[in-house]
């Protein structure tokens, strides 16, 4: 059974960079997963941030594209999110998730990690 676990700081200062890592166990990213980041603002709905294929190709939500970088580390079976120049509006629960294709559904999810942007 594939399991995902997010890790990273729970508090980030405004204007700094939010950095999170998702560790995948029970399966190999290199087997062809599309690895995504998704967030949920407090009391709001889900928002897709972007995905990376194990080869390194990426696709980002157009609304966040200028501030987002997703990278993959196949040797450690991890993928990471960097969100630059954060503001309070980036406070959210961040989830990592995987899918079998670029248009496939998210079949495995992490439990989510709350990141608060505050000074």
Interacting residues with another protein (CB under 8 A): 36, 38, 44-48, 51, 59, 61-63, 95, 97, 102-107, 109-112
Q: Which is nearer to another protein, 10 or 75 (CB)?
A: 10
Q: Which is nearer to another protein, 103 or 119 (CB)?
A: 103
Residue 63 structure tokens: 């609304």
CB of 100 to another protein, least distance (A): 10
Residue 68 structure tokens: 């987002």
Closest CA to 83 of 15, 10, 1, 28: 15
Eight-state DSSP code of residue 10 = S
Q: Which is nearer to another protein, 15 or 114 (CB)?
A: 114
47, 112 in Cβ contact below 8 A? no
């Amino acid at each position: 059974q594939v399991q995902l676990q997010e890790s990273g700081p729970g508090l980030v200062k405004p204007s700094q960079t939010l950095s999170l890592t998702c560790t995948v166990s029970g399966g190999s990213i290199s087997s062809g997963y599309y690895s995504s980041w998704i967030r949920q603002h407090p009391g709001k709905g889900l928002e897709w941030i972007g995905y990376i294929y194990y080869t390194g190709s990426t696709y980002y939500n157009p609304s966040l594209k200028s501030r987002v970088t997703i990278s993959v580390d196949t040797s450690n079976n991890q993928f990471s999110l960097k969100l630059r120049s954060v503001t309070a509006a980036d406070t959210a629960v961040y989830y990592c998730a995987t899918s079998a294709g670029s248009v496939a559904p998210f079949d495995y999810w992490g439990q989510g990690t709350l990141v608060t942007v505050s000074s």
